[in-house]
Chain A
Amino acid sequence: MLFNSLHFLVFFPLVVGLYYALPARWRAPLVLLASYYFYFSWRPEYTLLLAATTLLDYYSGLRMSRLRTQAQRRPWLYLSLASNLGTLFLFKYFNFFRDTANGLAEALHLPMAAPALALVLPVGVSFYTFQSVAYIVDVYKGKLEAERNLGRFALFVAFFPQLVAGPIERGSQMLPQLRQSHEFDYGGVASGLRLMAWGMFKKVVIADRLALLANPVFDHPRRFDSLALVLAVAAFTGQIYADFSGYTDLARGSARVLGYQLVLNFRQPYLATSVGDFWRRWHLSLSNWFRDYVYIPLGGSRRSPARNYANILIVFLLSGLWHGASWTFVVWGALHGLYLVAENWTAPIRTSLAKLTGLAARPRLHRVLASAATVALVAYAWIFFRANSLPDAFYISTHLFRGWGKLHPAQLQGLLAGLGRHFVAELLVAAGAVALLAVADYRAERGSVAAWLARWPAPLRWASYLGLLLATLYGGVFGSNQFIYFQF
C-alpha cells in the first residue's frame, strides 16, 4: 500500500476513526493489526518473515535482560544479529555478491557459476532490520530495558507509518511512547494532517514531476550530453529530496495524527554549507544509526586522523551498500566518504583562503557560496545513486560539460518528452512548486514553519491549506509512482 494511493486514502481515516473511538487499551492492538495489514497488502508471505524476526528479537532481548554481564548476553546478541543481518544478506545482497563472484571467476577463467536466488526483496527490510539491530545492541549494552510486552515490541518493529521507509526509530525514543495512552489532541492531529498534506504535495507535485524530466535521460544517457545531462541531474537532485522528505512527512504526519512523535529525518539539507553539514541534515535517522553502531564502535575520531578517515570511508561504503545491492551505490557512498575526508583534510586551507579572499568577512556570501558548492558536490554524487549502471554513471559524469557549444534540439526534445505536449505549463508548475519548497525550507531554517503559519490571519491560513490541497489534486502526477526509498 502506497501513501499516495486510494487504498491508503480509505485505510488511514478508517484506522484513525477506530483508534479514537476505541477505549485507550485497545488502541495499540488496533495499530498493530493495522500495521500488519499494511505490510500484508504488499506481499502476504513476507508478513511471516517480519513476524519471525520480530519474535526472535523479542526473545533475544528478553533473555539478555535476565543476564548480568555482556559476555553472558553475547550469544543472544550474535543470534539476533545473525538472524537480522542474515535475512538482509539473503534477500538483498546474495545475488549481488554472487554476480560479483561469478564475474570475477569468469575474468580469471575459473569454472565457477553460483546459482542465483529468485527472491523478491521484502519492502522495508533494510529499515526494520536496522531498527531491530539498534534495539538489540542497546539492550546488550544495557542502555535500554528489554521490552517485555510482545505486542508492544511487535508494534515497535512494525509501526505502519514508518515500517517501509523509516525514519529508523530507536527503542529509547519509541517504546516509552508505545506504553503511553494517547488521547485525542486537536493541535497534534491538526499538525499531523498539515504535515501529511505537505508531504503529499512534495511527492506528487514536485518529485513525480521532476522524475519525468530525469527519467528519460537516466534511462538512455547516451542519447544526451551537456545541458540535457545537467538538467536531468538537477531534476533528480530535486526529485530525491522531495520524494524522500515527502515520504518522511507523510510518515511523521500520520504517526502524529495517532499521537506518536517520530524522529526528524531532514533539516533543509540543500542549505548545508559543507558535505559534513549535509549529513547532519539528510536522512538523520540513518546517519545517526551509522554513527552510533558503526563509526563510534570503530573508534570514531578518537584515534589517529588516518584511522578516522578510514572509519569515515568504511561508514560511507556501508551506507552506500545499505541503499542498494549495486556497485553504483557503493561508488555513491565512496564519493561521499571521500568528500568528507577531503573536507576534513582541507579545512585549514579553506579557512585561510576565506580570510585571504575576504569571504570570511562576508559571512552571508560565504554561506551562499558554500551551500552552492555543497549542492553541486551532492548532485554530482546523485548521478551514481540514480544511474542504472556504472558505465551509465561514468558516461553522465564525464559528459556533463562536453559539447556546450552545440546544443541539439533533438536532445532537448528528448529531455522534455516525459513532460508531454504541455511541457511549458509543466515546467512552470515544476518551477513554482520547487520555489514553494525552497521558501518553506528557508523559513524552516529560520524557525518553525508551523509557528510562522500560526501567525497568519485564519482566513489566509485556511485559504493556503485549500490552495495546497487543490494544487496537489490538480497538479499532482498520479499513477502508482512508488517512493524511491521503498526499494531499499
Chain B
Amino acid sequence: MTKLLLRVALLLGAVGLLGGLGIWLGLRYGYVDAFYARFAAQPAGSLVLGTSRAAQGIKPGVLAARLGGRYQGPWLNYAFTLAESPYGPGYLGSIQRKLAPGTRHGLFVLAVDPWSLSMPAAVLDKRPLVFPEAQSMVSQLRSVSQSPNLDYLAHYLHKPFYQLLLDTDPRHVVERLHPDGWLEIAIPPPTADTALLRRRTAEKLATYRPIAANSRLAAVRLLSLWQTITLLKQHGQVVLVRLPTGAAMAALEDDYQPGFDQLMGQAAAEQHVIYRSYLHSPYATNDGNHLTRDAAEQFSQRLATDITQLAAAPEGE
C-alpha cells in the first residue's frame, strides 16, 4: 500500500504543482470571466447593485474618486445580470456576504428597473413564492470574497483553465471585468455604425418584448428590494437610480410599467432614501440597452455629481 500511496502522491504532487502553477499564472495575468473578480475582491464598504445595466453602466472607480472622502471603501460594482441578480432573497444573501463587516458609512447605489422587479406571470400565478434565480450562481455561492476563489472556479467557471492563459493580453479582450467590478465591453461604440446599432437594438428588443408580455411586477421582489434597502441603510446611504438606456428600450419600459417611477419614488420616500430616474437621459448604448464604456464614464461622473448634491438636499427630493 505504501508503494501505491507514494506513487499516487508523487503523481498528484506533480499534477498539483504543474496545474497549480498554470492556474496561478492564468489568474494572475489572464482573464477569468465577467463575474469572477467580484468574488475574488475583498469585502466592500460601498456597492453598486443591480443587473447588467448597472454592471456596465456605473464605474465604482469614478464614484470612489469623487466621493471617496465621504463614504467608506473599498468600492465595488456588485451588479450581475437579470438572470443572476434580480432583487430577491438570493441576491440579498449575497450582498450580505459581500458587505464588509463593521461598515457604517458606505454608499449603496441600487439600480432599479421594471425587469429586475418582475417575474414571469406563470410563476407568479402558480408558485408565487418561488424565485427562478434560487439556484443561480449569485444565490448559491457561499464564498464571495476569496482570492483565489476555488469554490467559484470549481463550480461556476464555464470555460477550461487553459483558456485563462490565452487571455493575457487585454487589448484583445472584448469583455473585461475590472478589479472594481465594472464590466467594460471594449467594442467600438456602434453609434457611428447606425445599421449595427439598429440590429443589436432590434435583437435586444426581441428579447425583452416577450418578457414584457409574459411578466408582471412582483410583490415578492418589491419586498426584497425593501429588505435590501432596510439592510443597507444600517450601513450607510442608499441611493436608488434608474439608469439611462436606449430610446426604444425606454419606450418599451414605459409601456410595460408606466407608473414605475412613481412607485419607486413612493418607496424611496417611505424608506427616506433618494430615487433618481435617468431613463430618458441621452447616453450612447452598445445595443439599445447597455451604456457604452465612454457613456458609462460620463454617466458615472454625473451620478457622482448628483449624489453629492442630492445627499446634501432634503430627503425625498
Q: Does A421 contact B (CB under 8 A)?
A: yes
Do the beta carbons of A479 and B157 come within 8 Å of each other? yes
Number of interface residues, chain B, beta carbon within 8 A: 24
Do the beta carbons of A469 and B160 come within 8 Å of each other? no
CB-CB under 8 A from A473, the residues of chain B are 15, 19, 161
A479-B155, A479-B157 as given contacts; A425 in contact with B163, CB under 8 Å: yes
Q: Does B213 contact A (CB under 8 A)?
A: no
Do the beta carbons of B19 and A474 come within 8 Å of each other? yes
* Residue among B3, B12, B158, B160 having the largest count of chain A Cβ atoms under 10 Å: B160
CB-CB under 8 A from A465, the residues of chain B are 11
Number of interface residues, chain A, beta carbon within 8 A: 27
CB-CB under 8 A from A477, the residues of chain B are 158-160
CB-CB under 8 A from A470, the residues of chain B are 15, 18-19
| Complex: chain B residue closest to A183, CB-CB | B1
Q: Mark A424-466, 1 if CB is under 8 A from B, else 0.
A: 0100010000000000000000000000000000000010011
Q: Does A97 contact B (CB under 8 A)?
A: no
Q: Mark A405-439, 1 if CB is under 8 A from B, else 0.
A: 00000000000000011100100010000000000
Do the beta carbons of A422 and B4 come within 8 Å of each other? no
Do the beta carbons of A474 and B22 come within 8 Å of each other? yes
CB-CB under 8 A from B155, the residues of chain A are 6, 478-480
In the complex, chain A residues 187-220 whose Cβ is within 8 Å of any chain B Cβ: 189-190, 193, 209
Q: Mark A472-488, 1 if CB is under 8 A from B, else 0.
A: 01111111100000000
C-alpha spacing A6/B157, complex, angstroms: 14
Do the beta carbons of B174 and A421 come within 8 Å of each other? yes
Q: Does B14 contact A (CB under 8 A)?
A: yes
Q: Does A404 contact B (CB under 8 A)?
A: no
| Complex: chain B residue closest to A184, CB-CB | B1
CB-CB under 8 A from B11, the residues of chain A are 462, 465-466, 469
CB-CB under 8 A from B161, the residues of chain A are 473-476
CB-CB under 8 A from B166, the residues of chain A are 422, 425
Do the beta carbons of A186 and B3 come within 8 Å of each other? yes
C-alpha spacing A422/B15, complex, angstroms: 24
C-alpha spacing A85/B299, complex, angstroms: 63
| Complex: chain B residue closest to A425, CB-CB | B166
C-alpha spacing A261/B160, complex, angstroms: 33
Closest Cβ of chain A: how far from B34's Cβ, in Å?
Answer: 12
C-alpha spacing A462/B14, complex, angstroms: 11
Q: Does B154 contact A (CB under 8 A)?
A: yes
Closest Cβ of chain B: how far from A83's Cβ, in Å?
Answer: 31
C-alpha spacing A475/B162, complex, angstroms: 6
CB-CB under 8 A from B14, the residues of chain A are 466
In the complex, chain A residues 103-144 whose Cβ is within 8 Å of any chain B Cβ: none
Q: Does B8 contact A (CB under 8 A)?
A: yes
C-alpha spacing A136/B153, complex, angstroms: 45
In the complex, chain B residues 136-175 whose Cβ is within 8 Å of any chain A Cβ: 153-163, 166, 174
In the complex, chain B residues 277-294 whose Cβ is within 8 Å of any chain A Cβ: none
7 examples of A-B residue contacts, CB within 8 angstroms? A186-B4, A466-B14, A469-B12, A473-B15, A475-B160, A480-B155, A480-B156
Known: A474-B19, A474-B161, A479-B155; 9 extra A-B contacts, CB below 8 A, are A6-B155, A425-B163, A466-B11, A466-B18, A469-B15, A477-B158, A478-B153, A478-B155, A480-B156
Interface residues in chain B, defined as those with a beta carbon under 8 Å from any beta carbon in chain A: 1, 3-4, 8, 11-12, 14-15, 18-19, 22, 153-163, 166, 174
Q: Closest 9 A-B residue pairs measured CB to CB?
A: A474-B162, A473-B19, A469-B15, A479-B158, A474-B161, A184-B1, A6-B154, A475-B160, A422-B163
